[in-house]
Structure 1
Amino acid sequence: MGLLTGLLTLPLAPVKGVAWIARCVEETAERELYDPAVVQAQLAALHRDLDAGLIDEQTYDEYEDELLDRLEEGARRREQTIC
């Protein structure tokens, strides 16, 4: 980047910085959302809640489906990023 270009785009630096931070936060949140260890821990906790009688079978099935979908989506995303 030339000196003139750097000086002309300097006022945009805060906007670029905020956009970069937003992308980093989004990527981190998605990694955590689709992390197999996190999802498996949530499945185990869900099963414990069912065994303890804290939730009924229907609620268990609904949340289990959501968690299993997240596991599948995470696997799909990991396959796409591996070259």
Structure 2
Amino acid sequence: MGLLSQVLLLPFAPVRGSAWVIRQVMREAERIYYDPATIRAELASLEEQLESGEISEEEFDRREDELLERLEAAAGVQQGGGGFG
């Protein structure tokens, strides 16, 4: 970029900076969401909730299916060597 371009685009610097921050936050959120260790911990917590009677068998099955799908998606991304963003 030339000096003139930088001067003309200077008022948009906060917008570009905000967009970068949002991308970084989204990337980190996806990393945590698809982290196998996080998913396994959620599965363990879900099982504890079922055993203590906090949730029904139907609720357990529904949420377990969601978590297993996330775990499967995370494994697919890791095998492909790509990232989430």
Shift of 1:36: 0.6
Unaligned runs of 5+ in 2: none
Distance 2:58 2:31 in 1: 28
Shift of 1:52: 1.7
Identity of aligned residues (%): 49
Count of residue pairs brought into register by the alignment: 82
Structure-2 residue corresponding to 1:74: 74
Alignment of 1:1-80 (within 5 A): 1-78=1-78, 79-80=80-81
Bigger shift: residues 18-27 or 71-80: 71-80
Q: TM-score normalised to the size of structure 2?
A: 0.86
Alignment-mate amino acid for residue 81 of structure 1: G
Distance 1:7 1:67 in 2: 49
Unaligned runs of 5+ in 1: none
Over residues 23-62 of structure 1, what are the superposed CA-to-partner deviations in whole Å (9 max), with x where a residue is unaligned? 0111111111111111000000111111222222111100
SS at match of 1:81: coil
Q: TM-score normalised to the size of structure 1?
A: 0.88
Runs of 4+ residues deviating >6 angstroms: none
Shift of 1:65: 0.2
Task: Tell me: higher relative CO, structure 1 or 2? Use CA pairs within 8 A at least 6 residues apart.
Answer: 2
Shift of 1:76: 2.2
Distance 1:75 1:34 in 2: 9
